Amino acid sequence: MASLDPWQRRLLDRMAIGTETRPAVLSPAVRLGLTELLAFRHVVRHLYAYELEADRVKLLLQRAIALWPQITADLESFQAWLEELVTA
């Protein structure tokens, strides 16, 4: 897997860890899925289109589509926590 910029990996890691003052924004499964997609983004930015493997692109597209409901659920959960925090 291609390496990510350090700040991208740190951001994903930090978003998946809850603290004493806030819950995790992303579940571990979503963090893992987004890490894989960001690694692919890195590859796309550094290769020519003809070097991409069509089967790999299709697989990652399927994974991204499958991951979307989980991302949405994680963000909605965090939003609910924020709204509860504001109204408390």
Helices and strands in the chain: count of H runs, count of E runs: 3, 0
> Average of pLDDT values for 46-70?
85
Mean pLDDT over residues 43-63, rounded?
A: 79
pLDDT score of 76: 98
Side-chain-facing half-sphere of 74: CA atoms under 13 Å: 20
* Cut 0.85: pTM above it: no
